[in-house]
Structure 1
Amino acid sequence: MLFKDKFRLHTPGPTPIPPSVQHAMNRPMIGHRSSTCSAIIQESSKRLQPIFGTKQDVLIITGSGTSALESAVSNTVQAGDEVSVVVTGAFGDRFAKLTERFGCHVHRLDIPWGERCTPEELKSHLRQHPDVKAIFMTYCETSTGVLNPIEELARVAREETDALTIVDGVSCIGAVPMEMDAWGIDIAVTGSQKALMLPAGLAFVAVSERAWQVIENNATPRFYLDLSAYRKSLGKQTTPYTPAVSLLFGLEEVLNLIEAQGMDNVIARHRLMMEMTRAGIRALGLPLVATDEAASPTVTSVYGTNDVHVEDLRQTLSAMNVTVAGGQQHLKGQIFRIGHMGYCEPGDILAVIATLEVALKTLNVPVSLGRGVQAAEEVWARV
């Protein structure tokens, strides 16, 4: 008999919460306009800067990652503007839908799901659409487990256009290299419930000086997501509207944990977990969605087979207290996705692979028990 309150959450968000972060969030409530809360907001914004790779303010919004995406659109473009959106999966498609909703003339650069956008593809696209005002990209495409080469894509964007470069980093910032200033990214956003090890409810936005000039002259109506209001309030060590104070307590502790480990070590841990997961999956004979070159350190997507029916496998894993995600849109029922970000370490990957082996055996799929675990262990042992 399994303990129902002891399970392994391995979706690509939400992700597990460290006990020390849970404890921090249980602190007694304080006034959101108090000096204590102001200190948390001001210091957290500064401490987030190295994670984004920027010297700019990191704005803190109470909302989901999608609220940050919408703020990046509503503050920078106007109805009728030409924009380009790199679509490598469901979340690139969400960026396209957002820009369409705000009346933009959207040029989609559609890349087959499971592949990353190459600099050459973006260059060709932008030369066909030289008048775009903004280029929207997804760093980690959560729906496929693909990591786009954002540094190279941002360089192409700056070489080919004067457009703003806007990056959705929701499912990877805090786990992968991000050098917003050095790479020439104008807006980068993320959410709390992924690599930053918090519950959903906070979103983070960093904005370049070039983008602020556009924002200040943009007439698109917005209120709660007006980034200028957040910038002005941060200058007063507060937020324009009531923040999620308990999540701010948790954010303080998350930043303590990241700083104690060191960002380089955080990045290395995520890369190791990706390599372990992929080695284990390959050893079990299951096809991976992304190539090694395109794979994300935060989520691994796996195809089902004639022998492996994805939803049956997910249900079996769930009964064994391991939760993984399914596919989205046309990949629903065809793939499953293993999250390995945030409060996750190599030993957790071994447990997931071991449970996956038993689940496959339970479903009468011909697998050799221990083969996947051994492959993952061999990767870990090389470190």
Structure 2
Amino acid sequence: MVHCETPSGTLNGLKELARAIKSEGKLLIVDAVSSIGGVEIDVKWGGVDILIGGSQKVLNLPSGLTILAVSDEAWEAWRESITGGFYLNIRLWRDVMEKMEFPYTHSEPLINGLLESLKIIREEGLNNVYMRHRAVAQGVVRAVEAMNLKLVPESEVFSSPTVTAFYVPNGLSDIKVIETARRYGVFIAGSWGGPLKGKVLRIGHMGGYTASLNIMANAS
């Protein structure tokens, strides 16, 4: 499943879905690329077998790093798997992790950047980071509502703290809005795929730069 479904600005109920999936005896793989670092995800309570994160969203780094959390149950399933492969074979990584002897050359700048990003998050405090994202998201939602625009999620309860999606006003083109905003140095994204393409605009508010947005919101 996808935790934060960015094309629609939806944050799926991870605990509820995990509980239902695990009741069926299935493994749960979660794409948390657009939520990890900005939304609370506690894998210790169980239910998530593989959590996949990335460096290029909330963690404020270029793309290129994958962050994985793997449950014991998932490792056992991997042991029993007959799937081949070498470069993307996660079992090779587990065999060498404890010895800190990695099978491939890392990107040292990205690793150092990740350490610095995590240091900044830790200094701010995880709870403060989560609260900041929620506060900025609520500010964006209030602004969208003030312009009489409609959120894509049916309820604000399901709106993601890292991105807000809303429908393009009647009579306007998403491309026209995006191009006009860009002339003023403002980047707004459209959506893609399926029924949302051409009908939805998105505002991303994830990572460290939301700190300045939060300060501006509080000042106003």
Scaled to the shorter chain, the TM-score interval is over 0.9
1:170 and 2:33 aligned: yes
Q: 2:168 aligns with which of 304, 313, 325?
A: 304
Distance 1:222 1:265 in 2: 42
Shift of 1:264: 0.7
2:207 aligned residue: 342
Look up the match of 1:132: none
Local SS of the residue matching 2:8: coil
Structure 1: stretches of 5+ with no match in the other structure: 1-136, 352-376
Contact 1:277–1:349 at 8 Å: present in 2 too?
Answer: no
- Deviation for aligned residue 1:222: 2.0
Deviation per CA, 1:225-276: give whole Å up to 9, x if none.
Answer: 1111111221121421111111011011001101101111111111111100
Aligned CA RMSD, in angstroms, stands at 1.8
Aligned with 2:83 (options 204, 215, 220): 220
Q: Does the aligned pair in 1 maintain the 2:135–2:214 contact within 8 Å?
A: no
Distance 1:162 1:169 in 2: 22
Structure number with larger C-alpha Rg? 1
1:349 and 1:266, CA in 2 relative to 1: closer, same or farther beyond 3 A? closer
Alignment of 1:1-383 (within 5 A): 137-159=1-23, 161-290=24-153, 291-330=155-194, 331-345=196-210, 347-348=212-213, 377=217, 380=218
**1:176 partner SS:** coil
2-structure distance, mates of 1:326, 1:279: 20
How much does 1:349 deviate?
Answer: 6.9
CA distance in structure 2 between the aligned counterparts of 1:151 and 1:320, rounded to whole angstroms = 41
For 1:350 and 1:267, how far apart are their aligned partners in 2?
A: 15
Deviation at 1:154, TM superposition (A): 0.7
The alpha carbon displacement at 1:341 in A equals 0.4
Distance 2:214 2:189 in 1: 15
Q: Would you say the 8 A contact 1:193–1:200 is kept in 2? A: yes
Question: What's the TM-score once normalised by structure 2's chain length?
Answer: 0.93
Residue deviations 1:15-56, cap 9 Å, x none?
Answer: xxxxxxxxxxxxxxxxxxxxxxxxxxxxxxxxxxxxxxxxxx
Closer/same/farther in 2, CA of residues 172 and 260 from structure 1, 3 Å limit? same
Q: CA 1:350–1:322 in structure 2 vs 1: closer, same or farther (change >3 Å)?
A: farther
* Distance (Å, rounded) in 2 between the aligned partners of 1:350 and 1:303: 27
Deviation at 1:336, TM superposition (A): 1.1
Shift, 1:156, TM fit: 1.4
Q: How many Å separate the matches in 2 of 1:190 and 1:346?
A: 21
Specify every segment of 5 or more residues in structure 2 that has no aligned partner in the other structure, as ranges: none
User: Match of 1:221, SS?
Assistant: coil
User: Deviations 1:127-163 (Å, cap 9, x if unpaired)?
Assistant: xxxxxxxxxx11111110100000111111222x111
Relative to the length of structure 1, the TM-score reads: 0.55
Which residue matches 1:31?
none
Separation of aligned partners in 2, 1:313 and 1:238? 50
Shift of 1:332: 2.0
Identity of paired residues, percent? 38
Partner secondary structure for residue 322 of structure 1 = coil
Give the SS at the match of 1:323. coil
Give the conservation status (yes or no) of the 8 Å contact 2:9–2:160: yes
Distance in 1 (CA, whole Å) between partners of 2:101 and 2:204 is 33
Is the Cα–Cα contact under 8 Å of residues 191 and 202 in structure 2 kept in the other structure? yes
Shift of 1:348: 3.0
How far off its partner does 1:347 sit? Answer: 4.0
Post-superposition, which runs of at least 4 consecutive aligned residues in structure 1 deviate over 6 A?
A: none
Deviation at 1:294, TM superposition (A): 0.8
* Counterparts of 2:212 and 2:33, CA distance in 1: 25
* 3-state SS of paired residue (1:170): coil
